[in-house]
Amino acid sequence: MWLRSKLVLLTATLAWACQAQPPQPPMDVTAEIQAANAQFTAAFAAHDAQAVAGLYTEDAKLLPPNSDFVIGRAAIQSFWQGAMDAGVAAAALTVEEALGTDSLTVEVGRFQLSSAAGDTIDQGKYMVWWKRTSAGWRLHRDMWNTSRPAS
């Protein structure tokens, strides 16, 4: 009897799973992510590390090159403040693609960091996992690396 009830439960579970909806194809949310990136670059140009950090989720993680994880808004604010204090005055972001669902999106793009004089400090590529919150799209995981040759 025990085995029979387990088989009935297994059969019912499999029948339910087979009726599940297929995954939706990824949506192109490039325009929305470009708008979110405009907020990031404006906050960066204003040297407002607190506003930059506010564009991340509470439990966001940065994965900067040659460094360990930077976790949470306070640490992210400190990281970006350090970059600003080191002379990074502007960040330009170019979206190559932004595909996902209505709640999670992955963006692939290119960046350029510049000094106050307009000199290029670094340029490279990045990948961001965006999460939609009640406040809009927020950076959830942020990883980048340089495209410059090693010296």
Residue 15: the pLDDT is 58
- Per residue in 24-69, pLDDT (tens digit) is 778 889 999 999 999 999 999 999 999 999 999 999 999 999 999 9
Using CA atoms of 133, 82, 64, 27 in order, give the dihedral in degrees to the nearest 10: 30
Residue 9 falls inside a structural domain: no
Total domains present in the chain: 1
Instruction: Give me the CATH number covering residue 58.
Output: 3.10.450.50
Residue 80 falls inside a structural domain: yes
Residue 8 falls inside a structural domain: no
Model pTM score? 0.82
Residue 12 falls inside a structural domain: no
Q: What percent of the chain has pLDDT over 90?
A: 78
* Amino acid present at 49: A
- Per residue in 70-95, pLDDT (tens digit) is 999 999 999 999 999 999 999 999 99
Gap between the Cα atoms of 128 and 62, Å rounded: 9
Residue 11 falls inside a structural domain: no
Residue 36: the pLDDT is 97
Our CA angle for 140, 55, 68, nearest 5°, is 50
Range of 118's domain?
A: 26-145
Residue 123 falls inside a structural domain: yes
Residue 122 falls inside a structural domain: yes
